Structure formats: structure tokens, C-alpha cells
Chains A and B, each alone.
Chain A
Amino acid sequence: GQNIDQPTEMTATEGAIVQINCTYQTSGFNGLFWYQQHAGEAPTFLSYNVLDGLEEKGRFSSFLSRSKGYSYLLLKELQMKDSASYLCAVYNFNKFYFGSGTKLNVKP
């Protein structure tokens, strides 16, 4: 089976840094995606990791360790607009397995 775990909810302060973790156990692996989803809206692509290491994209970075089945999304200089759900998804031969998402609340 496929098992993807993320914390349900996190709270952080505007301007701070937050790390959202994702652990996975899947029968195959072709990459890991992070998506952002604001309430009532469609998920939008944030990042993609296929090799171990850190991928940086502006204020957002994503890390992958395939041997540990672990990834994290790092958000720096938090803004109020970053309040959203963050979905971790494992990609395996044209199939995406999504975690339940982490709801991030950014407070002033």
C-alpha cells in the first residue's frame, strides 16, 4: 500500500520560517511534489524533487531523502498569504499519491 504522512495543522508567525515534514512509504518512487492549496481553490504546483537534496525556489525550498522516505517544505519570510494547505504527493508511474495535507496558519 501507499502511506504518506504529514502533520495536520501548524501555526507560525509572519516573517518567521516554518518547516512542513512529509514521510512516505510507497511501493515505487519517481519523484515527490509539493502543492499549495488555498481554501476553496485548486492545488497549485510548488516544487518537485526526484534526487536527494535541497531544491530552492525563492522563499520556498524542498528537501528529499529517498533512503529515509522523507521530505520537507521550508517556507521563509512567511507572509499572511502563505496561509493555506500544503500537500505532499509521491509520483509513481503516472500515479500521484497525496497526503492529507498540512494546514498552515500564519498569524500577524
Chain B
Amino acid sequence: EAGVVQSPRYKIIEKKQPVAFWCNPISGHNTLYWYLQNLGQGPELLIRYENEEAVDDSQLPKDRFSAERLKGVDSTLKIQPAELGDSAVYLCASSPGTATGELFFGEGSRLTVL
């Protein structure tokens, strides 16, 4: 079974430029999460989807961040414009939505903003 796939793995951009990250969750997983992880810290939730609906986006900085999950499968996270402080790893995770709620993470997209 394929795991959670993310791309790109690495991205270097100048500040004020846009950037987008893509995530393909495990087949059949209805719940999809985007997390931000800074070096030496635990993941912090940005947004959670149940199928195509964003059910928790309270931590998403909506002035510059946006996300979508078309048809309840793949998801895209966009930052426009990027700031220096956005440099981090963006992790996508999916869950089958069962009682145990185990998360399956992708390898992450490491963003460096210069």
C-alpha cells in the first residue's frame, strides 16, 4: 500500500514569492491534515479536512495561506506571499478516521524562504 505522498520535498524561494505544496493521502483515508514543523519542535496543525470539507482551520493564517482538497482526495497548500518566518517543514498526514485516529505522515516539504 502506498503511503502519503508529498511534493516537492524541498523548495527554496525568495520572500514575497508564492509557493504550493501537494499531498496525496493514503487511499480511503477521509481525514487529511496539514501540519507545520519548525526545527526542534513538534508538528502544529494548520488545517484538517474531513473529505472535502475543512473542519478545522483555526490555526491557518488566512491572510497568506490557503488550502483546498478537491474531490476529497488530493490536497494543495499555498502560501502567497511567503515570508522569512514561513521557513519550516510542511507535513501532510492522513487518517482512516477510526476510533484510534492513528496518523500516517508524508515525508514533508521543506521550505526555505530567503
Contacts and interface: CB of A to CB of B under 8 A. Distances in A.
Given A30-B101, A44-B105, A95 B91 contact: no
Interface of B: 4, 31, 33, 40-45, 48, 50, 55-56, 91, 97, 100-108
A89 to B, nearest CB: 7
Q: Tell me whether chain A's interface is mostly helix, strand or loop, or mixed.
A: strand
A99 B44 CA distance: 9
B48 A100 contact: no
Given A30-B101, A43-B43, 18 more contacts: A4-B42, A8-B40, A31-B100, A31-B101, A33-B103, A35-B103, A42-B4, A42-B91, A50-B100, A94-B55, A94-B56, A94-B101, A95-B45, A95-B48, A96-B45, A99-B42, A100-B40, A100-B41
Interface residues of A, number: 24
Among all A-B residue pairs, the 8 with the closest Cβ atoms = A98-B42, A42-B105, A42-B107, A43-B105, A98-B43, A100-B42, A91-B101, A100-B41
Contacts of B97: 94
A69 to B, nearest CB: 17
